[in-house]
Amino acid sequence: MPDINTSLRAQILIAMPSLYDPSFSKTIIIICEHSAEQGAMGIILNQPTSLNIYELIESDNTKHREDDPLLSIRIHSGGPVDTDHGFILHDCDIKHESTIQISPTLFLTSSSGILEEIAENKGPDNKIIALGYAGWSPGQLEAEISANSWLTTEYQHQLVFDTPADKQWLEAGKQLGIDLNLLNSQPGHA
């Protein structure tokens, strides 16, 4: 089991092929908060939805041009907890009351103000907008890692912001030198 005094903040979780939970199968998750007392909170990075930014900030989506570049910003499913709550993962130090610093170059904000800034093309260039989050009670994530449900790797900007969502899971494994497609998802004996 990982040392309970070591925070997993800014680590990326990589779901093992044997993790069949439909919410987490083949996901990668950035850990935003982690402590032995509070547990862990993270954002799934590779589950885009069909929603766009305008559907989050207003009810009438018809007044925007079809070629509006902001329509290409996909909203992600950040996890199964509190799915009506939005989070913006970004790499620039934009300060809102709700902004937390995950690493020296990674931040999480849960403010409608940053959504409006993004809609006005004034927000961060690199961002992932997510609804909901993944959460673990104290000790739960450490137990899941010990049970081989997750691998962990360091946060990499390119993986989070530059790699297409459908390739992130395999790319995260490659960072560890592992081809996740070659791992057997069935437990067995040697």
CB 42 within 8 A of CB 32: yes
Q: What is the pLDDT of residues 78-130, one digit of tens each?
A: 999 999 899 999 988 677 888 999 999 999 998 778 887 887 778 888 999 99
Tokens of residue 186, six digits? 């069935």
For the chain, percent helix, then strand, then coil, each to nearest 5?
Answer: 25, 30, 45
In which band, very low, low, confident or very high, does the pLDDT at 186 lie, cut at 50, 70 and 90? low
Q: How many CB atoms lie under 10 A from the CB of residue 9? A: 20
Instruction: Kindly indicate the confidence band of residue 67, based on its pLDDT and cuts at 50, 70 and 90.
Output: low
Q: What average pLDDT does the segment 58-82 reach? A: 72
Domains of the chain: 11-182 (3.40.1740.10)
